[in-house]
């Protein structure tokens, strides 16, 4: 019998079971936590690690982990229920807009306008998402765009992997090369006791070269799929995906009416307000959820949907993303198990020990790879910055490496695994929306991740040798 790769739900639950078993093998320990007034958060004090009583995680703890992951934040991560609720409301919003017919008409009009130039959407859109990543760490905010972009890419003759890659890799390379991202770069710099503009130009180089490499990689795959659909990594789902994303409608005969245009303007305006709210007004999931509830009602009224059509469309749209909301909770359950089992700090202490006595070039590359591994354990970039930077940055002084390079190594690492890490609700949620199996995504993205890693290691090593 042919082996079938497990679903995202099974992968995440198996990881929870694995982490729970590690709480029986890894010694329990804690750093002393002290309040950092600049961050407004408690951070570990270097040299304060000590063993504590173990809290082995058993069968009941495993079952409770996703539930706790929904509503019980650690000191460095937000509640998953806020993000999951946002995802459901976004699904409802998309459902209402789809019911108006504006999305179908808009896609038909877009493809007619492009007329064979669809490939240029790839670098442009990846550039826009990269800007969101480098400026404010765009991650959860990308989830609504998959439902919008995937039908466009499939209608243009590409596959769902191209649609997912444009958003996930676009935003991912922006986070990897974060320049002024307040949720990662600024927090990490503050935790390392340096100005966040130190190391800025190296991160600009990483961002620029990384974006170019990612665009070339995605465009080559897209061209191959369009020329020969059998070369797609999800070729076996072609008819099923076309039926799911294109709603089996013939778009070529659709007319973009004035009402459709008004709906699309309101649709775009909602996302522009979202970007402004997150980057300028300090909004987060509660405010964003309220925004899209309001936008759904306004669009329903403008389109003259009946009360029944509006509510039913919203509920059907939310139901489509229910699986994504569950994935976010299960992914957070992994962090709950580690924290409750008192092994998160032990893993961090082990990483601290690996770095002692290394020369400068080896040290900075070791920092990079340690942060890569830690990203799989703590998929939140801000959470990882709060946990790791107070430990890693002082070690750089003994190795003769500038702290800004440690921040850049952290930044590059925290962005890279978020393209592939199975513990990230954003990654697994996006793959669920795109109907892309984790195995297919790994087959597509791992070569790119390898090339990006080599590029980052070379740039970090050159920077160390030049200072």
Is the confidence at residue 378, as pLDDT, over 60?
Answer: yes
Measured distance CA(30)–CA(49) in Å, rounded? 5
Q: Helix or strand or coil: residue 407? A: helix
Name the DSSP letter for residue 137: -
Which pLDDT score is estimated for 233?
94
Secondary-structure percent of the chain, ordered helix, strand, coil, rounded to 5: 75, 5, 25
Tens-place pLDDT, residues 403-462: 899 999 998 998 877 788 887 878 888 898 899 999 999 999 999 999 999 999 999 999
Between 433 and 325, residue with greater pLDDT: 433
The answer to whether the beta carbons of residues 34 and 354 sit under 8 Å apart is no
Can you tell me the mean pLDDT for 139-155? 83
Mean pLDDT of all residues in 381-393? 82
- Give the pLDDT band of residue 248 (cuts 50, 70, 90): very low
Q: Please report the pLDDT score of residue 251 as a whole number.
A: 47
Residue 201 pLDDT > 70? yes
pLDDT surpasses 50 at 199: yes
- Per-residue pLDDT for 252 more than 70? no
Q: For 196-223, b where at least 16 C-beta lie within 10 A, e where not — what string?
A: bebbeebbeebbebbbeebbebbbebbe
Q: Which one has a higher pLDDT value, 300 or 180? A: 300
Taking only Cα atoms into account, the Rg of the chain, rounded to an integer number of angstroms, comes to 23
What 3-state class would DSSP assign to 35? strand
CA-to-CA distance for 386 and 399, rounded, in angstroms? 21
What is the tens place of the pLDDT at every residue in 93-141? 888 988 888 877 777 777 677 777 778 889 988 988 898 888 877 777 7
The answer on pLDDT for 359 being more than 70 is yes
Give the residue with greater pLDDT, 47 vs 365.
365
CA-to-CA separations, 284 to 27, 88, 181, in angstroms, rounded? 36, 15, 15
Contact between residue 334 and residue 19 where contact means Cβ atoms under 8 Å apart: yes
H helices of 198-343, in order, are 200-227, 238-246, 258-279, 285-302, 307-320, 322-340
What are the residue ranges spanned by the domains of the chain?
A: 8-15+25-48+75-466
pLDDT digits (tens, 9 = 90+) for 179-197: 878 778 888 888 888 888 8
In angstroms, the CA 287 to CA 282 distance is 9
Place of tokens 């703590």: 378
Asked if 305 and 96 count as a contact pair (C-beta separation under 8 A), the reply is yes
Spatial separation of the C-alpha atoms in residues 75 and 43, rounded to whole Å? 9
Average pLDDT, the chain: 85
DSSP 340: H
Contacts of 306 (CB under 8 A, 6+ apart): none
d(CA 342, CA 236): 44
pLDDT at site 3: 57
Measured distance CA(187)–CA(38) in Å, rounded? 9
- Contacts of residue 418, Cβ cutoff 8 Å, sequence gap at least 6: 139, 172, 175, 375, 379, 381, 424, 426, 427
pLDDT at 67 over 80: yes
Tell me, what DSSP letter sits at residue 27?
Answer: P
Determine the average pLDDT of the residues in 350-366.
87
Q: Looking at the predicted structure, is the pLDDT value of residue 28 above 90?
A: yes
Check if the beta carbon of residue 88 is closer than 8 Å to that of residue 318. Answer: yes
**How many residues in the chain?**
467
């Amino acid at each position: 019998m042919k082996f079938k790769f497990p679903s995202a739900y099974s992968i995440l639950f198996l990881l929870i079971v694995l982490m729970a078993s590690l709480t029986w093998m890894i010694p329990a320990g804690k750093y002393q936590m002290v309040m950092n007034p600049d961050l407004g958060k408690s951070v570990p004090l270097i040299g304060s690690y000590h063993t504590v009583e173990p809290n082995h995680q058993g069968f009941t703890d495993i079952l409770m982990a996703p539930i706790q992951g929904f509503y019980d934040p650690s000191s460095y991560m937000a509640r998953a229920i806020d993000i999951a609720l946002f995802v459901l409301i976004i699904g409802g919003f998309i459902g209402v807009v789809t019911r108006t017919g504006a999305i179908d008409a808009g896609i038909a009009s877009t493809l007619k306008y492009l007329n064979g130039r669809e490939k240029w959407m790839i670098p442009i859109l990846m550039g826009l998402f990269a800007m969101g990543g480098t400026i404010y760490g765009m991650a959860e905010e990308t989830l609504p765009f998959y439902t919008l972009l995937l039908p466009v890419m499939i209608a243009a003759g590409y596959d769902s992997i191209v649609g997912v890659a444009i958003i996930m890799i676009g935003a991912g390379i922006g986070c990897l090369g974060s320049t002024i991202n307040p949720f990662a770069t600024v927090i990490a710099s503050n935790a390392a006791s340096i100005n966040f503009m130190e190391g800025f130009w190296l991160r600009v180089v990483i961002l620029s070269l990384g974006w170019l490499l990612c665009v070339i990689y995605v465009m080559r795959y897209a061209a191959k799929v369009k020329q020969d659909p059998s070369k797609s990594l999800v070729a076996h789902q072609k008819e099923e995906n076309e039926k799911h994303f294109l709603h089996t409608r013939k778009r070529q005969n659709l007319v973009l009416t004035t009402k459709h245009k008004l709906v699309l303007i309101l649709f775009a305006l909602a996302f522009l307000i979202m970007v402004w709210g997150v980057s300028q007004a300090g909004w987060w999931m509660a405010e964003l959820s309220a925004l899209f509830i309001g936008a759904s009602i306004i669009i329903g009224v403008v389109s003259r949907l009946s009360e029944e059509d509006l509510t039913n469309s919203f509920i059907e749209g939310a139901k489509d993303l229910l699986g994504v909301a569950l994935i976010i909770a299960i992914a957070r359950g992994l962090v709950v198990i580690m924290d409750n089992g008192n092994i998160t700090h032990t893993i961090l202490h082990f990483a601290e020990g690996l770095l002692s006595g290394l020369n400068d070039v080896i040290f900075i590359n070791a920092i990079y790879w340690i942060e890569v591994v830690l990203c799989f354990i703590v998929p939140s970039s801000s959470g990882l910055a709060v946990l790791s930077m107070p430990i890693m940055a002082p070690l750089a002084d003994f190795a003769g490496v500038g702290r800004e390079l440690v921040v850049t190594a952290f930044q590059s690492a925290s962005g890279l695994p978020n393209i592939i890490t199975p513990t990230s609700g954003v990654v697994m949620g996006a793959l669920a929306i795109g109907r892309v199996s984790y195995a297919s995504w790994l087959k597509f993205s791992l070569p790119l991740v390898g090339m990006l890693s080599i590029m980052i290691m070379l740039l970090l090593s050159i920077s160390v040798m030049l200072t």
